[in-house]
Amino acid sequence: MKGVVFTEFLDFVGMKFGADMVDDIVGDCDLPSGGAYTSVGTYDHTEMHALVSALAARGGAAVPILLREFGRHLCGRFQKGFPQFFEQNATLFDFLESVQDHIHVEVRKLYPDAELPSFDTHHRDEAALELNYRSCRPLAALAEGLILGAADQYGTSVSVEQKPITDDTGTFVRLAIQRCA
């Protein structure tokens, strides 16, 4: 997992829970990196799970809630770092559908060793978008937060539901995004 995700996560923890919490959770985990991340470095994604679990154990909230809140925060940072991806898409659903074939393709050019999930559209109509999230990393809650963060950027109010699916293509999570009236 790219260092930028870790540096943003520790910034998020510092802003939400204070600088001491950052030191505490890094101290709680036996991290191969020692918790010294650079944005262009690459680290084992299990370090993220260790850090989020440590934050949960210190009373932060349950792991999926923390991942979702972090995803929401991260999307705000992506908007600042990569405004063109938002400007190129007129609506939230267009933006979300561009993650697979455009945004993450550009991300891979920037970070050739990025470990990216896949999102294929299962269904789209005026009010709903269903994306199949496939990854060997269990980060559907992060995806949910990124979607909610993008919805904030577009000023579109949505709900997101996760549906675990197993079919002949494998096991994945369907993210059902519903526009609120």
- CA 67 from chain centre, in angstroms, equals 7
Which one of residues 21, 26, 103, 173 is an interface residue with ligand HEM (CB under 6 A)? 103
116 lies in the binding site for ligand HEM (CB under 6 A): yes
- Told to check if 176 binds ligand HEM by CB under 6 A, we report no
The 3-state secondary structure of 165-181 reads EEECCEEEEEEEEEECC
85 belongs to the binding site for ligand HEM (CB under 6 A): yes
- Residue 171: phi, psi to the nearest 5? -110, 130
Chain centroid to Cα 21, Å, comes to: 21
Number of H helices and E strands in the chain, helices first, is: 8, 4
Q: Which two tokens stand for residue 93?
A: 């659903």
Helix/strand/coil for 136: coil
What is the smallest separation between the CB atom of 61 and ligand HEM, expressed in angstroms?
19
User: Closest by alpha carbon to 120, among 135, 107, 139, 110?
Assistant: 135
Amino acid at 95: F
Query: Is residue 115 a contact point for ligand HEM (CB under 6 A)?
Result: yes
Report how far apart the first and last C-alpha atoms of the chain are (Å, whole number): 37
Residue facing ligand HEM at closest CB distance: 135
148 interacts with ligand HEM by CB under 6 A: no
2 is a site residue for ligand HEM (CB under 6 A): yes
Instruction: Tell me how many residues contact ligand HEM (CB under 6 A).
Output: 26
Stretch that binds ligand HEM, among 13-21, 22-30, 104-112, 151-159 (CB under 6 A): 104-112
Could you tell me the smallest distance in angstroms from the CB atom of residue 168 to ligand HEM? Answer: 22
For residue 76, the minimal CB distance to ligand HEM (Å) is 10
Verify binding: residue 137, ligand HEM, rule CB under 6 A. Answer: yes
Instruction: Please name the residues in contact with 107: beta carbons below 8 A apart, sequence gap of 6 or more.
Output: 114, 116
Q: Can residue 158 be called a binding residue for ligand HEM (CB under 6 A)?
A: no
| Chain positions contacting ligand HEM, by CB under 6 A | 1-2, 4-5, 78, 82, 85, 96, 99, 103-104, 107, 111, 114-117, 119, 135, 137, 139, 142-143, 146-147, 150
